[in-house]
Amino acid sequence: MTLRHQRGGIATLALVAMLTTIWLIHLPSQERQVGFTCNPQSCHQTAVPQENPGTPFMKGAIDLTGDGEPEMIQLEGHEIRVLQNGAEIWHSDPEWQVVDVALGDPNDNGRYEILAALWKPNDAGERLNHPYIIAHRGGTMKLIWGGSAVTHPIHELLLADVDGDGVQELCVLESAQPGDSSNTSQRTLSVWDWHGWGFSLRWRSEPGHYHNLGVTEENTIVITSRE
Ligand SMILES: [Ca+2]
Ligand SMILES: [Ca+2]
Ligand SMILES: [Ca+2]
């Protein structure tokens, strides 16, 4: 083999290595659906169809006033609006930056409320992440439970009876790292029980690149994992 041939071979190898690197960098990340089912103490992974029933909350109807007629609850940008017969009866504080909403009975008292995860500034102007319960009481919409700021910010939440005991649990996708509000970092899934004046943690998953929290008709939790 001549020197010229050798150089040609090395150049070809270098080109192949470079093209392989470019291909690996641009390889699309794989997404798969991961399911979790719960018992009264814990949750565990389970097989689920590769479709995720979860969609970001935009609007929903539930009877907040207790008269048998559902109200319409909308999330517009970062603001919640409640409409009764097409007329707005309440909207959330403009200082709140609402990130997700779930409708149901989060505090297990037989009445429906709005459960919201939101950012709001404290007295020092620091933005903190809270879960809040907003209800219709005494003829008006009001905040009836303001959870203290969470260390692991909530990105998505839903209410579902994931263990089949007739009581809804709170399911949350939260930052795996304290204080992290980034949309691309790792998350954990957690399941919480109402204990009378707040939520207590039942179970928390290992961290993963999770998003799109949903629940099947059989109340199996489904999250999309990016790998
Ligand atoms: Ca109503
Ligand atoms: Ca309730
Ligand atoms: Ca339950």
**pLDDT tens-digit readout, 104-113:** 999 999 999 9
Q: Is the pLDDT of residue 84 over 80?
A: yes
Rg (CA), the chain: 23
What is the 32 CA–ligand 3 centroid distance (Å)? 26
pLDDT at 213: 98
What is the 104 CA–ligand 2 centroid distance (Å)? 7
What is the 51 CA–ligand 2 centroid distance (Å)? 30
Distance CA 82, CA 71 (A): 7
Q: Which residues are in the CB-under-5-Å shell of ion ligand 3?
A: 161, 163, 165, 167
SS3 95: coil
SS3 149: coil
> Using one digit for the tens of pLDDT, what is the confidence trace for 128-139?
999 999 999 999
Q: Is the pLDDT of residue 68 over 80?
A: yes
Supply angle C-alpha 95, 194, 150, rounded to 5: 40
The dihedral of CA 76, 81, 84, 87: what is its sign?
A: negative
What is the 193 CA–ligand 3 centroid distance (Å)? 8
Q: Is the pLDDT of residue 169 over 60?
A: yes
pLDDT at 23: 62
What is the 113 CA–ligand 2 centroid distance (Å)? 5
Q: Which of 200, 208, 199, 149 is nearest to 175 (CA)?
A: 208
What is the 167 CA–ligand 3 centroid distance (Å)? 4
What is the 71 CA–ligand 1 centroid distance (Å)? 5
Count of domains for the chain: 1
- Residue 142 in contact with residue 134, Cβ under 8 Å? yes
Distance CA 168, CA 115 (A): 12
SS3 66: coil
- State the residue range of the domain holding 112: 3-226
What is the 114 CA–ligand 1 centroid distance (Å)? 13
CA dihedral 165, 198, 106, 67 (to 10 degrees): 120
User: What percent of the residues of the chain are helix, what percent strand, and what percent coil, each to the nearest 5?
Assistant: 10, 50, 40
Residues 6+ apart with CB under 8 A from 176: 152, 185, 186, 187, 188, 207
